[in-house]
Amino acid sequence: MNKASEVSHAHEVKVEDVTPLSILSPDGEIINEDLMPDLSDDDLKEIMRRMVFTRTWDERAVNLGRQSRLGFYAPVSGQEASMIGSEYALDKEDFICPGYRDIPQLVWHGLPLYQAFLYSRGHQHGGQIPEGVNVLMPQIIIGAQILHATGIGMAFKKKGQKNVVITYTGDGGSSEGDFYEGLNFAGVFKLPVIYFVQNNGYAITTPFAKQTAAASIAHKSVAAGISGVQIDGMDVLAVIKAVRDAAEKGRSGEGATLIEALTYRFRPHSMSDDASKYRTKEEESEWAAKDPIERFRKFLNKKGLWSEEDDARVKEEAKAAVAEHIKKAEKIEKMTVPGLIDSMFETTPPHLEEQKAYYKS
């Protein structure tokens, strides 16, 4: 072996395979009692309410998209544990930087549902975040929200605020340059950022095995010098535990955390996608048995905290809310080019005044 080979071999890093953090079995049994997050019965019921509400809202939104009453819509069924659990683990003063699929987190953090519908319809009012709601509008550019979150984390640190910021992407987003830049920056400056990757196993049609040679996305935290954990993303209790731990590290000055949530979206990537071309029925059946809502329902049933009547009530509540908010969104005055231009500038540049005049004529 020559000298160059000796040096290369001596610096080879070997990391043990990670084991996903899990608290709740698919049968609804607690398998890691010591890791159980501190949640009251009311907390548990509210988490379930939000998950059932979100599944019902998602089903209605898919139908609204087929009726052309929504524009671009990215389904979420199957990912309720990672979405609802992660937001529930935060404080309202904490910040959320979402990707385009992460609408539920925004709504449960305070964004009115009708504005979420307006965002889908391409209306600028969908991105006019109400005062006191600590979210950015969904980012359609894959991975761009990671840099936004990193900047907000730096602002929190400079101001001495004990807040954290969470940002979401999928497994495909973890292949973007923005992902590595964000993690590296957060590692250097020990920023209070939670990088939450919902690993659905596919970047649209590309399977995870063809996206990276890394054993897991969680392993990528090592190079950035930040904490990393892989969790069962179909287990809402594991999600809450991991995000609470990450938030505590951020608030205490220990720095950022990369969370890889292993999850599975039951519907296609978007309404223009045909998942049957790249996913097998066997794979779908295997993940269906891990349904996050069914798993949590079994747990709550055993504790006497949830019933079929509760389920039916929440589903009707969600259907009524969707009907009310889509009607509200449809009543908002339609956008115009002059109106869009006026909203972008305090003093409109002359060349855009000319464009406004053209569209008004």
Diameter of the chain by CA atoms? 78
Question: Domain for residue 137, yes or no?
Answer: yes
Question: Domain for residue 8, yes or no?
Answer: no
Question: Domain for residue 347, yes or no?
Answer: no
Question: Domain for residue 10, yes or no?
Answer: no
CATH assignment at residue 83:
3.40.50.970
Question: Domain for residue 218, yes or no?
Answer: yes
Question: Domain for residue 2, yes or no?
Answer: no
pLDDT at 329: 97
Catalytic residue, from 101, 269, 279, 297: name it.
Answer: 269
What is the length of the chain? 361
- The pTM assigned to this predicted structure is 0.92
Structural domain containing residue 196: 16-25+38-334
Q: In one letter, which amino acid is 61?
A: A
pLDDT at 75: 94
Structure tokens at 71: 């524009």
Q: In one letter, which amino acid is 67?
A: Q
Could you report the per-residue pLDDT of 28-82, keeping only the tens digit for each? 999 999 999 999 999 999 999 999 999 999 999 999 999 999 998 999 999 999 9
Could you report the per-residue pLDDT of 171-216, keeping only the tens digit for each? 999 999 999 999 999 999 999 999 999 999 888 888 898 999 998 9
Residue 278 annotated to the active site: yes
- H-run or E-run covering 65: helix 41-66
Question: Domain for residue 359, yes or no?
Answer: no
Residue 97, CA atoms < 13 Å, CB-side half-sphere: 24
- How many domains in the chain? 1
Describe the chain by its helix, strand, coil percentages, rounded to 5: 50, 10, 40
As a whole number of angstroms, the distance between CA 161 and CA 84 comes to: 24
Residue 269 annotated to the active site: yes
Catalytic residue, from 109, 123, 265, 297: name it.
Answer: 265
Residue 123 annotated to the active site: no
Percent of the chain topping pLDDT 90: 80
Mean pLDDT of the chain: 92
Local confidence band at 6 (pLDDT 50, 70, 90 cut-offs): very low
What would the mean pLDDT of 284-311 be, rounded to a whole number?
A: 96
The yes-or-no verdict on residue 266 having pLDDT over 50 is yes
Question: Domain for residue 277, yes or no?
Answer: yes
Buried b (16+ CB within 10 A) or exposed e, 149-183: bbebbbebbeeeeebbbbbbbbbbbbbbebbbebb
**Three-state secondary structure call for residue 99:** strand
Q: Show contacts of 337-340: CB within 8 Å, 24+ apart.
A: 340/124
